[in-house]
Structure 1
């Protein structure tokens, strides 16, 4: 199978995850870029950031039209991650490749475990109101946002798999608003990380990145429609199983 076809298939699957779940796209994009398309871990994380940023912005537009984005709270949450994302993005290219692979595998496993765990609906006075008012201290929200930013910068992951539950539990968003707002957080963090990754942005194979991105954009739109038709828990379980297998493979590869 040609690398172009592999790029299209991988892009579609990554976009589907992003559009349906508000995250998880980069968790599938990075291993696909490494093991299917021959990127190094450093260039794969940079390429994934480019792909996820463009795809996220298109998905954000769709969710904004549907009224699922809480702009004020989302911007404040994302702002806390800008500096950590930029700093981690500058450090990441200088780390050993096996270390990056192993760290990514661990985060992917944590993400998969979160997807496979039965969802808990938080009981809060602010839940489901559609307001921007946080129900916990601003310090906790800022700390969570900073952690997501650092993760994005270091491993090239958008962080939506953590942003969605964080927005649900920390800011008491309803699920649809959490998914839509997470896209804003992902876009801001990814752009901040890309700004400091100039060294790994040179020499990227755009002939593969472009079709990967195009397929991811189409997949994200299909994912949004899929999310409205298929049970959320079923979607999360399917992607969780897939992601757990990917994490196990990457961890073995990094350690052997």
Structure 2
């Protein structure tokens, strides 16, 4: 079974390195559907997994000047408080009840379907955003904080949203920024958010540390390989295949 976890970590790491899509949209469904990990444990373990793997991205993007800390601060202003509120709510419910398990699966399924749309539409949105502002400049700070608040609750509950959804929304809010700056800023924000949410899940007892270590053994070389092969593989087709998988898994979770 450990080899299977290493393989899963490698596959997710490879796709994240190749496409930049957040690991939560891939790892949590794999843990749920292939390895029958309990939903709360899958989410909690994946949050710390994401925090560790994406922390590497901060150094890489930081050196290249791809992080706009103003955007990161605005997102965190909204996301950290709502993450803490969501964790407080989770502390007061029975995470093992069938109703709670079904609710987590439902929201995870919805998040995956929305993420698949974001994956498919990203390039078109980049083209549209370059033609003009979607949101008046005076409303951008408040809209960014609101986006952070939505991501904070969604990521804490499902571990999905910090990647593809965050980048897609930021493209619309900051059309004049380079896509590399958007991606770098989103990754920089995802690290503190997933860390806060992950530590909160640790206090809930919903993290399997042995599983976490095994996944990292596979993901680190996977991310390295995927990043270096991204220029040699037709990413467009990879994104389409990935989106189809996310749609299938999303509907499977919703109607399971």
Tell me if TM exceeds 0.5: yes
In structure 2, the partner of 1:196 is 200
Q: Distance in 1 between matches of 2:88 and 2:31?
A: 21
In structure 1, the partner of 2:141 is 138
TM-score scaled by length of structure 1: 0.84
Q: Say whether residues 1:101 and 2:101 are aligned partners.
A: no
Q: Say whether residues 1:110 and 2:114 are aligned partners.
A: yes
The 8 Å contact of residues 59 and 221 in structure 1, kept in 2 or not, is answered as: no
Q: CA deviation at 1:20?
A: 3.3
* Unpaired runs of at least 5, structure 1: 127-133
Q: Say whether residues 1:59 and 2:26 are aligned partners.
A: no
Which secondary structure does the structure 1 equivalent of 2:73 belong to? helix
Q: Distance in 1 between matches of 2:229 and 2:72?
A: 24
In structure 1, the partner of 2:183 is 179
In structure 1, the partner of 2:30 is 32
Q: CA deviation at 1:29?
A: 0.8
Matches within 5 A, 1:175-254: 175-201=179-205, 204-253=207-256
The 1:218/1:62 distance shift into structure 2, 3 A limit, reads farther
Q: CA deviation at 1:124?
A: 5.5
The 8 Å contact of residues 77 and 141 in structure 1, kept in 2 or not, is answered as: yes
Which secondary structure does the structure 2 equivalent of 1:195 belong to? helix
Superposed CA RMSD in Å reads 2.5
Q: CA deviation at 1:73?
A: 2.3
Q: CA deviation at 1:16?
A: 2.6
Q: CA deviation at 1:100?
A: 0.5
Matches within 5 A, 1:2-13: 3-13=1-11
The 1:60/1:68 distance shift into structure 2, 3 A limit, reads same
Q: Distance in 1 between matches of 2:181 and 2:22?
A: 17
In structure 1, the partner of 2:124 is 119
In structure 2, the partner of 1:169 is 172
